[in-house]
């Protein structure tokens, strides 16, 4: 059975004179033997795969120490830092949207992707003539921080969708958003082939990411579709060629990515389900 590892309590501002209730937020962190075994297995799989990659490129794994890799990481700055972008007041907006009672907001949202410093949902599509599109205040790629003062940061996609669906009978909606382009720019700095990139790709989609690696520091996100590598479109490129291009790249590796679900919507591969 899982057990509570730690418990934190965050309390609101001390009591006010208007008689309003004060709330506490309790956060439980759970551990289990199964979770530890899974984490160890994933770590071992990454290690074995990396050693095989080094051998395939004629590099003895024993020649590359963990300290050497850590030293490289420590010299690299975070690229495309979400916190800097989100804290810029020019990018942050509070919007009031008008709608008819019983009318849906008319949006499609997707996850920002694991690897985001502030994980939230992204506006991926808008219904023609819907309240969101009519407002002319929103753009594809905008990240939604809160709706009617309810924060969406860190919430599962289904929960965020449920919150938006619950707006159907309201005539005014307040949104706090951060204006972002639909495409994420990535810059990976890889000084030598012997340093692993720290992420895996399947059919152009990033499906796993090593925490603390050069890819994470460069802005790579799980669940994103790679659009470009070093200025060359890879939208119609075979999986093997994408892997080869990444495996053989050294120095600065420039990529453009976007959430895979958004890519499918924008390219007509999926029919939007508006909420």
pLDDT score recorded for residue 93: 93
Query: Are the C-beta atoms of 95 and 175 separated by less than 8 Å?
Result: yes
The pLDDT value recorded for residue 208 is 86
Please list the pLDDT of the chain residue by residue as tens digits (275 residues): 444 444 443 344 444 455 555 554 444 444 556 656 665 666 666 667 666 765 665 656 565 555 555 555 555 565 655 667 777 888 999 999 999 999 999 999 999 877 666 788 999 999 999 999 999 999 999 999 999 999 998 899 999 999 999 999 999 999 999 999 899 889 998 888 878 888 889 889 998 888 777 888 888 988 999 999 999 999 999 999 999 999 889 899 999 999 999 999 999 999 999 99
> What HEC string does the chain produce?
CCEEEEEEEEECCCCCCCCCCCCEEEEEEEECHHHHHHHHHHHHHHHHHHHHHHHHCCCCHHHCCHHHHHHHHHCCCCCCCHHHHHHCCCCEEEEEEECCCCCCCCEEEEECCECECCCCEEEEEECCCCHHHHHCCCCCCCEEEEECCEECCCCCHHHHHHHHHCCCCCCEEEEEEECCCCCEEEEEEECCCCCCCCEEEECCEEEEECCCCHHHHCCCCECEEEEEECCEECCCCCHHHHHHHHHCCCEEEEEEEEEHHHHHHHCCCCCCCCC
For residues 126 and 134, give the distance between their C-alpha atoms in angstroms, rounded to a whole number: 10
Give every CB contact of residue 133 below 8 A, 6+ residues apart in sequence: 106, 126, 127
Q: Which residues contact 122 (CB under 8 A, 6 or more apart)?
A: 109, 110, 111, 112, 141, 142, 143, 144, 180, 182, 259, 262
* pTM given for the model: 0.68
Residues pairing with 5 in the sheet: none
CA-to-CA distance for 272 and 140, rounded, in angstroms?
13
Question: pLDDT of 220-260, one tens digit each?
Answer: 988 999 999 999 999 999 999 999 999 889 899 999 999 99
Q: How far apart are CA 225 and CA 179, in angstroms?
A: 20
Instruction: For residue 130, give the nearest of 148, 109, 169, 103 by alpha carbon.
Output: 103
Q: What is the pLDDT of residue 216?
A: 84
pLDDT value for 114: 72
Q: What is the CATH number of domain 92-179?
A: 2.30.42.10
Same CATH fold, 92-179 and 52-78+183-264? yes
Nearest to 95 by CA among 60, 45, 146, 58: 146
| CATH code of the region 52-78+183-264 | 2.30.42.10
Q: State residue 7's pLDDT score.
A: 40
What are the residue boundaries of the structural domains of the chain, listed by start?
52-78+183-264, 92-179
Tokens of 267: 């390219």
């Amino acid at each position: 059975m899982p057990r509570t590892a730690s418990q934190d309590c965050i309390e609101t501002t001390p009591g006010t004179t208007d008689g309003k209730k004060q709330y506490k937020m309790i956060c439980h962190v759970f551990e289990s033997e199964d979770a530890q075994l899974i984490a160890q297995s994933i770590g071992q799989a990454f290690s074995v795969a990396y050693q095989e990659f080094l051998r395939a490129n004629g590099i003895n794994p024993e020649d590359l120490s963990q300290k050497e890799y850590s030293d490289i990481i420590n010299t690299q700055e975070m690229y495309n830092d979400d916190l800097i972008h989100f804290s810029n007041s020019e990018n942050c907006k509070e919007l009031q949207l008008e709608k008819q009672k019983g009318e849906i907001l008319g949006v499609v949202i997707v996850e920002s992707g694991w690897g985001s410093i502030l994980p939230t949902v992204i506006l991926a599509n808008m219904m023609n003539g819907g309240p969101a599109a009519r407002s002319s205040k929103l753009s594809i790629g905008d990240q939604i921080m809160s709706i009617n003062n309810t924060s969406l940061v860190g919430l599962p996609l289904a929960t965020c969708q449920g919150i938006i669906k619950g707006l159907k009978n309201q005539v005014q909606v307040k949104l706090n958003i951060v204006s972002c382009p639909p495409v994420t720019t990535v810059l990976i700095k890889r000084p030598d082939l012997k340093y692993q990139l720290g992420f895996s790709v399947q059919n152009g989609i990033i499906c796993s990411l090593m925490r603390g690696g050069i890819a994470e520091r460069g802005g790579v996100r799980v669940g994103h579709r790679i659009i470009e590598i070093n200025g060359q479109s890879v939208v119609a490129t075979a999986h093997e060629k994408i892997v080869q291009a990444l495996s053989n790249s050294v120095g600065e590796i420039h990529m453009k990515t976007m959430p895979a679900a958004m890519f499918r919507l924008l390219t007509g591969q999926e029919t939007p389900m508006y909420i």
